[in-house]
Amino acid sequence: MRVSIDKSLIKGEVFAPPSKSYTHRAVALAALSKESTIRHPLISADTLATVRASEMFGASVEREEDKLIIHGINGKPNVPDDVIDAANSGTTLRFMTAIAAFTDGVTVLTGDASLRTRPNGPLLEVLNKLGVKACSTRGNERAPLVVKGGLKGKDVSIDGSISSQFISALLITCPLAENSTTLSITGKLKSRPYVDVTLEMLELAGIKVHIDESNGTRFIIPGKQKYDFKDYTVPGDFSSASYLLAAAAMTNGSEITVKNLFPSKQGDKVIIEILRQMGADITWDKEAGNVTVKGGRQLKATTFDAGASPDLVPTVAVLAAVAEGTSRIENAEHVRYKETDRLRALATELPKLGVDLKEERESLTITGGKLHGAAVHGWDDHRIVMALSIAGMVAGSTTIDTTEAVSISYPGFFKDMCSLGAKIKDIAEE
Ligand X SMILES: C=C(OP(=O)(O)O)C(=O)O
Ligand Y SMILES: O=C(O)C1=C[C@@H](OP(=O)(O)O)[C@@H](O)[C@H](O)C1
Q: Which does 225 bind (CB under 5 to 8 A by kind): ligand Y, ligand X, none?
A: none
Work out what residue 54 binds among ligand Y, ligand X, none; the CB cut-off runs from 5 to 8 Å by kind.
none
Stretch that binds ligand X, among 10-18, 29-37, 84-92, 348-356 (CB under 6 A): 84-92
Cα separation values, 113 from 46, 116, 134, 346, Å: 14, 5, 21, 20
190: partner contacted, choices ligand X, ligand Y, none (Cβ within 5-8 A by kind): ligand Y
DSSP for 221-285 reads E-SS------EEEPPBPHHHHHHHHHHHHHSTT-EEEEES----S-GGGHHHHHHHHTT-EEEEE
Which of 159, 237, 268, 311 touches ligand X (CB under 6 A)? 311
Residue among 127 and 282 whose Cβ is closer to ligand Y: 127
CB of 115 to ligand Y, least distance (A): 12
Residue partners of 282: CB distance under 8 A and separation at least 6: 245, 249, 272, 275, 276, 291, 292, 293, 294
Buried b / exposed e over 303-341, threshold 16 CB at 10 Å, is ebebbbbbbbbbbbbbbbbbbeeebbbebbbbbbbbbbb
Catalytic residues: 311
Tell whether residue 2 is among the known ligand binding residues: no
Task: Answer yes or no: are the C-beta atoms of 344 and 328 closer than 8 Å.
Answer: no
CB-closest chain residue to ligand Y: 163
Torsion of CA 336, 307, 355, 390, to 10 degrees: 90
Q: What SS3 class is residue 97?
A: helix
How far apart (Å, rounded) are the C-alpha atoms in residues 94 and 145?
A: 10
Q: Does 314 bind ligand X (CB under 6 A)?
A: no
Residue 20 assigned to a binding site: yes
Binding range to ligand X, per CB under 6 A, among 48-56, 85-93, 143-151, 256-264: 85-93
Q: Residue 281: what residue type?
A: D
**Closer Cβ to ligand Y, 254 or 340, answer by number:** 340
Distance CA 24, CA 45 (A): 11
Q: Kindly give, in sequence order, each residue whose CB lies less than 8 Å from that of residue 361, ignoring residues fewer than 6 positions away.
A: 333
Q: Write down the least CB distance from residue 158 to ligand Y, Å.
A: 12
297 among the known binding-site residues?
no
338 assigned binding-site residue: yes
Dist. CA 30–CA 37, nearest whole Å: 8
Tell me how far, at minimum, the Cβ of 195 lies from ligand X, in Å. 14
Of ligand X, ligand Y, none, which one sits near residue 72, judging by CB under 5 to 8 A according to partner kind? none
**Three-class SS state of 31:** helix
Three-class DSSP labels, 295-327: CCCCCECCEEECCCCHHHHHHHHHHHHHCECEE
Using CA atoms, how far apart are residues 400 and 112, in angstroms rounded to an integer?
21
- Is the Cβ–Cβ distance between 199 and 211 less than 8 Å? yes
Q: Which stretches of the chain bind ligand Y, using CB under 6 A? A: 21, 24, 91, 163-165, 168, 190-191, 194, 310-311, 334
Q: In this chain, which of 10, 237, 383, 386 binds ligand X, going by CB under 6 A?
A: 383
Closest residue to ligand X, based on beta-carbon distance: 90
Of residues 46 and 159, the one with the C-beta less far from ligand X: 46
* Smallest separation (angstroms) from ligand Y to the CB of 107: 20
- Contact partner at residue 383 from ligand X, ligand Y, none, CB < 5 to 8 Å by partner kind: ligand X
User: Rounded to the nearest whole angstrom, what is the least distance from the CB of residue 121 to ligand Y in the complex?
Assistant: 13
As beta bridge partners, residue 135 has 146
Residue 89 binding: pick among ligand X, ligand Y, none (C-beta 5-8 Å cut-off by kind): ligand X
Per-position DSSP letters for 386-411, written without gaps between them: HHHHHHHHHH-SEEES-GGGGGGT-T
Site for ligand X in 319-348 (CB under 6 A): 338-339
90 labelled as ligand-binding? yes
311 is in an annotated binding site: yes
- Using CB under 6 A, count the residues that bind ligand X: 9
**Which residues are documented as binding site?**
20-21, 25, 90, 118, 163-165, 191, 311, 338, 342, 383
Q: Which residues are annotated as a binding site for 3-phosphoshikimate?
A: 20-21, 25, 163-165, 191, 311, 338
Binding residues for phosphoenolpyruvate: 20, 90, 118, 165, 342, 383
Enumerate binding residues for ligand X (CB under 6 A).
46, 89-91, 311, 338-339, 383, 409
